[in-house]
Amino acid sequence: MLAMQSLLRYLNQVAARCQVLLDFARNRYRPELHYMRGPGPKWYEKHQGGAF
């Protein structure tokens, strides 16, 4: 019985570490969804002669 509990505890630890690695690999950070809104007036001045 004690060996089974040790095995389950070990498997839980392995599963927790795998979950951490999977969360890291998924990389949910997508900055373009939050704050990038396209070129601004400085970009237009530099690339198109100044007018919007």
What six digits make up the tokens of 29? Answer: 């950070």
User: Which sequence spans correspond to the domains of the chain?
Assistant: 2-35
What is the chain's length?
52
Q: What is the pLDDT of residues 2-37, one digit of tens each?
A: 899 999 999 999 999 999 999 888 877 777 677 767
Residue with tokens 């060996």: 3
Instruction: Say if residue 44's pLDDT is above 60.
Output: yes
C-beta of residue 14 within 8 angstroms of C-beta of residue 6: no
